[in-house]
Every structure is written in structure tokens, then in C-alpha cells.
Structure 1
Amino acid sequence: MTLKDSIRHQSSHITNSTMEKDEAARLASALMDVKLTEPDITKNQQHNALFDPVNRIDSDEFTDTTRTLKEKLIHATSDDIQALEHLMSTRLDEGRGETLFEIGVEDDGEKMTLTDDEYQQALITVGKIVEKLDADFSTVEERGKHNQQQQGILATLMIRRRLKTVEDLLEIRIAVVGNVDAGKSTLLGVLTKGILDDGRGKARVNLFRHKHEIESGRTSSVGGEILGFDSKSQPVMHPAGTGRKLTWEEICTKATKVLSFVDLAGHEKYLKTTVFGMTGSAPEFVMLMVGANAGMIGMTKEHLGIALSLGIPVLVVVTKIDRCPPNILQNTIKELGTILKSKSCRKIPLFVETDTDVVMTAQNFVSERLCPIFQISNVTGQGLDLLRNFLNILPAQTKYDMEQPFHYEINETYSVPFVGTVVSGIMMSGVIHVGDKVLIGPDHSGNFNMTTIKGIHRKRVTVPAARAGQSVTFALKNVRRSAIRKGMVLLRYDKDHPPPKCSKRFEAEVLVLYHSTTIKQKYQAMVHCGAVRQTASIVSMEKQLLRTGDRAMVQFEFVKTPEYLTIGSRMIFREGRTKGIGKVTRLLE
């Protein structure tokens, strides 16, 4: 089944909605009017050739046009082994240590019509090749093995390199958002602890960080959990029946790929913390939780709008389907489909029901048009295997440049006994080693001070170096915690170059998503730009007034201290229900 046919088939669940047009318009207007450009799925697939279902050998040096891929897999010669090894090695490098490989389809898309014996021989050949690459493989999808109507066996394999050091650990950050009581913390507890919930919140207790969170059962801070997968795509779980929990160090030692979940607050009064978590933690994906019995209520639409405004791909998880009547579940699905297909979202909802849907959705998720929807129960375990399989093969999307100078954004600070001041954040570019001198700032006066990296931890494991794209913690020398605030940065120290400049004023191209009246000069709002979170006022703009839907070039000035910004960074400004997005175009002073 093609992607187009599959989407048409999946969407048939919700296209027959009996909602009136005015009701659909009301739901669509409830979301912020985010203008998204029409993406080109074909171009994105070409750019992300790593996850193209057709196995191609692009190097003429290793291409043998006289032999099909089926012959190379079943009757492999030394040249065939060399060609396939080159193909897999290249794709593993492109995929940062992992890639999908499809068996059963030729280079031109024709089926191989593999018998069971031929399929087993193909797996043996693949096993020999991945062993040479110091990797393992696992079958994530298999079709036609027990189906007499399908011609031949088709399978999708996940090939993943074995981990040598924690420095090479593949990490994907996912922000978990949704309304209060949507099941965010419970799902993370079930996924990471390997146990089902008892229906009364047993699985989520270990995720809470504060006493009032345990008492109220609601998250108020930016929490975090990790889920690891080894080179054979098996989740790294706590040992069953022992009562012992694996530490992060043990998980990272056994895992090859780690998904870092950022558990964000669902209550409206913690919206500022939620927005900071979605901008400061630099998530690659957003997992939107929707309670089947409640639907798209409260902050659900708000969180979806923020994810869309930041351009982050979204996957939807409908929870509590075990306790929801069928008619209520159907209404929730209809409402969800209406909102996702509205002008504000322009998403293609795709209900994931089989492993085939999982593979196809993960391959095309980078297009930002597809929105996979999972229906799960944390009590019965229904749908959890599909979600776990999807997370296992989910490709890393964001590309970071290690050739650029070192740049690190601070989003959390700690004071550790016998260690000193420790900062946590995201490596935006460059490479850093223990003992390197760096600049930290800007302080309240806009100056940068020199310090030294005493130690580096990644997922609580000591490492000698860190690279761009990783979330790491640094122990700093001779720096007081009181002198550090969220939004400060660490930059490369170079005595031959002038100190970096920070800005109290900057210019940005903005789009007003919603405002009840008009925006004028001297208007103040909270600006979120990466880890920066500070109130700024409008000092000038090219129009006299700004209303909902208007675009304009606007100059902002921070109220308190200057900040270190980079041109091209995406920003959000909000004040009450007023919301806007923008991009930094110029740094003024």
C-alpha cells in the first residue's frame, strides 16, 4: 500500500464527521492562526535518504548492474558483501549510528517474492555484514510470512551500531505536553519503568520532583526521564521482580540510543514554565497527550499551537481508552481530526494500528505534514508496543554543526557538595573537553567572565568531551551559583579574538497570532528565545498598530539585562492570552 493510499484509508475514520461547519470553524479558530508553508514531501524524502524504503547503492564503484539485490542477499559473493557493506556503512554514518534496511523490495521497487528459505538466507547475509560493521540488527516489521495471499516476504530491519563510549550515545529529545490529567507522567512512568499503571497513578510517582507534586498529582516543573534501546532494539528496562531500579548510568551503559523525555506542566498557571521547557530544552519532537474521555480541552490546543509556531513535528497519543465509552472516544477522534486538518494546523492525521503503519510513519515524519496518532491504555497496555516500536525507529532530525565555535545554552543551575557550581543545558555547536577555558555570560552588566570546565556529565555519566546536539552538565571552576541565571551561555575562549557582544536591543520579524485589541509602542511581553526568558518592551515598529494576523519588523528592548542572541533564532512573545512568534533578524546594541 502506498503512502497516499494508506493516508486515505486511515483518514476515512474521521472524514465522515457530522459536525456543522460553524462548529468546525469554532474549533479551528480556537487554535492560534499559525501560517505554515506547504512542505514538499518528496524533497524531504530525498533529503532524508537514510530512511528511504528503497535500498540503493549510490557509489558506481560498488554497483553491479548485472545482479539484483535479491541475488546479492541470497547468493552473496565477496563483491556483493563489499557493496552491501559500503551501503550500510554509509547509511549508518548518515543516521548517526542507525538505519532502516528493507528486505523484499528491489532497487526499482519491484518485489523480490522471497520464500521462507530465501528470507532466512537473506537474514544470514545481513548478519554477516553487520557483524563486520560492529553492529546488530532486529526485525521491526514483517509481512507475508503467514499470509498466503501476499507474494513473498517483506521485512524492515533496524541496523544499529554497538555503543563503544557514552560520548557516542544517540540522543533524541521529546517534549511531552498536554492538559492536566491527560496521563503525561503516567505514560512516561510506564514506558521507562516497564510496568503498567494500577489506574491510581502508581507509575507516575517516581517522576515527581517536589513534595507538592506528589500531594497534588500534578507536574509543576520541567522534569525528565530517559528510555534506552540497545543495539538489538530491545528497551533497557528495570529487572522484573527484583524491586531494583536501574540508574541513568546503568541505562546509558547498556543502551545505544536514548530518548530524553521532557515532562512539562499541563496546568495553565505553569504555562510560562511549559513554554520555557519547549524553547530551552530544544526538543526535536513534541508528544501531545490527549485524554480520550476529555478531548481537546484546556491547555491542549495552547500546547499544540506553541509546537506548531516553533516548527516542531508533533505526534499525538490518545490515552485512557480502556475507561472511555466508545461514543465518547469517537467524538474525541473526530474533534482531533478536525483540528489537525484545519487551516491553523494543516496536518495529515494518520492512525497507527500496525507495525507497517509505524515504519511508514517514522520514515515520513520528517515532512512535518504527517501527524501519527496512537491510542493507548497505561492500565491494560493496549497500543504501548506500537508506540515503543515507533520511538525505537524514530530518526534524529536536528542537525548540529561541530565545526562551528563552541556555544552552550544554560537552562538549569545546581550547587553540588564537594563539586561546586554545575550548569545544565544544550550544546548548540562545537566540541568541548575537560580542562578547556570558556567564557560565561552575560552578567547583569553585559560582561563575560572566564572559567574552566572541571568536569562533564552526560546522563549522569562522566565523559571526557561533549559534542554539538548533546544535553550535558558542566562543573565550572571558581563560579558562584548566585552569579548564574537561566539564559546565560558558555562560549569559546580565544585570547586572539575580541570578547563576544550581547544585546539589550534587537530587531525581529514577528507575526501576531492573537491579541484582543492592538499592540503599540512601549508594549511589554515575555520573550522566549532558546533558553532566554525575559520581559521586553517594543521601542519601535514599522507600523503604528499591530492586530491579530499582522506581520511587521519590530525592535525589542530587554527590561532588565542584556542577553546573548544569535541571528535567525526563533522566538515567542506572550502576555496573558496575547501570543506572537518571530525570528531575530538584527542585533542592535
Structure 2
Amino acid sequence: MKHVIIGTAGHVDHGKTTLIQALTGINPDRLKEEQARGMTIDIGFAPLTLPDGTTVSIVDVPGHERFLKNMLAGATGVDVVLLVVAADESVMPQTVEHLNILRFLDVREGVVAITKSDLVDEQWLQTVQEDIREHLKDTFLAQAPIIAVSATTGKGLEKLRHALLSAVSRARAKDTALPYRLPIDRVFTVQGFGTVVTGTLVSGTIHVGDPVEILPQKLTSRVRGLQIHGVKVEQAEAG
């Protein structure tokens, strides 16, 4: 089975997190500060079920320039990008910056969502679509579908799911036979269990009981448990 990671990208306050919540029913903003400020600070995760029943993982990244390091952490390992542009603002500085980062990371598949489309008229929406296409003309998203959506009304969400399914079907499969490698996004301690790390497995297959080495400190440990989106599993494959 091919495991695929979809990553969001786009300027701050363009509605990435709200769109993910509309698609999945899950708010990837887990921090109280994020929910209070209405702004994503750290990366978040949610599973998305596509129209054919396939479940993929979505990594939601912050759009503010102050949290670019967090965006980079989340973008590593992304197979398909969901580039989000707000209809009332069009392309902005972090739209371009995130797009350049994804090019450097050799992401090759993606879909563009124009959010907040219910806030503008059709003429303005057409202008925004043309502006986006102009910015994308020399990038890997030059031929990507551009879909107007609204997380408030539900407009375009089903069309977006089908476009993501198409992009996922074209994405390159990760190599599960390589040594397993997990860039760490977060680390914390759970009382009675011990140290927990989270991240996206970018290569290989990992099992409960496997030995691990933490780099660059060269600390050794062993896997006591595994979860994928909160569900306990005995093994996890890249993606």
C-alpha cells in the first residue's frame, strides 16, 4: 500500500487550518495559544479519507514568516502540496516563499485551493485565478488544478477531494525497504510511559521493539509503542 503525505502551504491567515478542519472534521491546531489567537504556530496533523476510501495524512503548517522553521519541519517528507490562497488577498509573500521551499524539497504534485471564495464575486475570483496561474507558470504546479472552495458553505470541497485523489495517485511511493528514518517534530514525556516523539516516517518500516538511534547525539533506545493518528499499531511504513 502506498502511503502519501499531503502538506499545506500558503500565507498566514489564508485559511489553511480551517480548510483542513472542513475536509477532515479535525482541528489540527492542538495548542491553546493557536486556538486562542486563531493562528497556526506549530505543525498539526489530520487523517483525510479520499473518495476511493484511501486514507492519507495531512500535515498543516504555519504561514507566518516568524514560524518558518516549523513550516520547514512539516514540509519535509511531503509528497503532495495543497497550496492555499485566499480569494480576498490572492498571492502574498509567504505564498511565494512556501512555493520556493517546496521546489527545493523536490515536491512534484499538488493542488491549489482558493479559500474564502464566498467572500468575493465571480469577476474578482477570475482575476485571482489568473494571478495564481501567472505565479505558477514556471513551477511544478503550472498544470495543477485550481479549485475555488469555501470552508463555510462547503463549496468546492468534494471537487477538491477528487483533485487530491488524482494527485495522490500520481505521487511517488516512498521506499519501505530502506533503513527507517524519522525526523522528529515534537518530543514530550507521558507519565507512566516515558519519552514520546512525533514525526513523519520518510523511509523504511519500523516495528514495536525495534532498536533506534537518536542522532546526532548517538543515543540508543527501543520502540515501546507506535501510533498512527492516535491508533495503536505494531508497525509503520514510510509516509
TM-score bucket of the superposed structures, by smaller chain = 0.7 to 0.9
Q: How far did residue 416 of structure 1 move?
A: 1.1
Match of residue 213 from structure 1: 34
Q: What value does the CA root-mean-square deviation take over the aligned residues? A: 2.3
The one-letter code matched in structure 2 to 1:372 is P
Q: Is the 8 A contact 2:4 2:173 kept in 1?
A: no
Q: State the distance in 1 between where 2:202 and 2:5 align.
A: 14
Relative to structure 1, is the Cα distance of residues 398 and 298 closer, same or farther in structure 2, using a 3 angstrom cutoff? same
> 1:279-301, CA deviations, whole angstroms, 9 ceiling, x for partnerless residues?
2xx11011111111111123111
Q: Where does the alignment leave 5 or more consecutive residues of structure 1 unmatched?
A: 1-95, 97-169, 194-203, 234-255, 349-369, 471-589
Match of residue 147 from structure 2: 374
Q: State the distance in 1 between where 2:156 and 2:94 align.
A: 24
Q: Is the 8 A contact 1:178 1:303 kept in 2?
A: yes
Specify which of 160, 163, 169 is matched with residue 390 of structure 1: 163
- Greater CA drift, 373-382 or 420-429: 420-429
Q: State the distance in 2 between where 1:346 and 1:409 align.
A: 25
Q: How far did residue 409 of structure 1 move?
A: 2.9
Give the greater-gyration-radius structure (CA): 1
Matched position secondary structure for 1:429 = coil
Matched position secondary structure for 2:102 = helix
1:141-160 correspondence runs (5 A): none
Q: State the distance in 2 between where 1:440 and 1:347 align.
A: 36
Relative to structure 1, is the Cα distance of residues 400 and 451 closer, same or farther in structure 2, using a 3 angstrom cutoff? same
Matched position secondary structure for 1:395 = helix
Match of residue 142 from structure 1: none
> 1:291-348, CA deviations, whole angstroms, 9 ceiling, x for partnerless residues?
111111231111112112222123211112211033322221221121122x4x2753
Relative to structure 1, is the Cα distance of residues 460 and 298 closer, same or farther in structure 2, using a 3 angstrom cutoff? same
Q: How far did residue 466 of structure 1 move?
A: 2.6
Q: State the distance in 1 between where 2:235 and 2:56 align.
A: 20
The one-letter code matched in structure 1 to 2:61 is L
Does residue 257 (structure 1) correspond to residue 54 (structure 2)? The answer is: yes
The one-letter code matched in structure 2 to 1:290 is V
Match of residue 324 from structure 1: 120
1:115-514 correspondence runs (5 A): 171-193=3-25, 206-229=27-50, 233=52, 257-279=54-76, 282-312=77-107, 313-341=109-137, 343=138, 345=139, 347-348=141-142, 370-393=143-166, 394-395=168-169, 397-443=171-217, 448-467=218-237, 469-470=238-239
The one-letter code matched in structure 2 to 1:331 is T
> 1:450-475, CA deviations, whole angstroms, 9 ceiling, x for partnerless residues?
322222222222222233x14xxxxx
> 1:477-517, CA deviations, whole angstroms, 9 ceiling, x for partnerless residues?
xxxxxxxxxxxxxxxxxxxxxxxxxxxxxxxxxxxxxxxxx
Q: How far did residue 396 of structure 1 move?
A: 6.1
Q: How far did residue 184 of structure 1 move?
A: 0.8
Q: State the distance in 1 between where 2:180 and 2:29 align.
A: 33
Q: Is the 8 A contact 1:431 1:466 kept in 2?
A: yes
Q: State the distance in 1 between where 2:33 and 2:198 align.
A: 24
1:86-105 correspondence runs (5 A): 96=1
Relative to structure 1, is the Cα distance of residues 347 and 466 closer, same or farther in structure 2, using a 3 angstrom cutoff? closer
Q: Is the 8 A contact 2:10 2:63 kept in 1?
A: yes
Relative to structure 1, is the Cα distance of residues 227 and 437 closer, same or farther in structure 2, using a 3 angstrom cutoff? same
Q: State the distance in 1 between where 2:103 and 2:180 align.
A: 29
Count of residues in Structure 1 that have an aligned counterpart in Structure 2:
237
Q: State the distance in 2 between where 1:283 and 1:460 align.
A: 20
Q: Is the 8 A contact 1:307 1:314 kept in 2?
A: no
TM-score by length of 1: 0.38
Matched position secondary structure for 2:118 = coil
Q: Is the 8 A contact 1:284 1:396 kept in 2?
A: no
Q: Is the 8 A contact 1:179 1:300 kept in 2?
A: yes
Q: How far did residue 214 of structure 1 move?
A: 2.1
Name the structure, 1 or 2, with higher relative contact order (CA <8 Å, separation 6+): 2
Relative to structure 1, is the Cα distance of residues 433 and 314 closer, same or farther in structure 2, using a 3 angstrom cutoff? closer
Relative to structure 1, is the Cα distance of residues 329 and 427 closer, same or farther in structure 2, using a 3 angstrom cutoff? closer
Q: Is the 8 A contact 1:172 1:396 kept in 2?
A: no
Q: How far did residue 389 of structure 1 move?
A: 2.2
Q: State the distance in 2 between where 1:440 and 1:419 align.
A: 18
Q: Is the 8 A contact 1:175 1:262 kept in 2?
A: yes
Matched position secondary structure for 1:277 = helix
> 1:22-69, CA deviations, whole angstroms, 9 ceiling, x for partnerless residues?
xxxxxxxxxxxxxxxxxxxxxxxxxxxxxxxxxxxxxxxxxxxxxxxx
Q: State the distance in 2 between where 1:221 and 1:330 align.
A: 33
TM-score by length of 2: 0.88
Q: State the distance in 2 between where 1:431 and 1:378 align.
A: 36
The one-letter code matched in structure 2 to 1:177 is A
Relative to structure 1, is the Cα distance of residues 179 and 426 closer, same or farther in structure 2, using a 3 angstrom cutoff? closer
The one-letter code matched in structure 2 to 1:426 is T
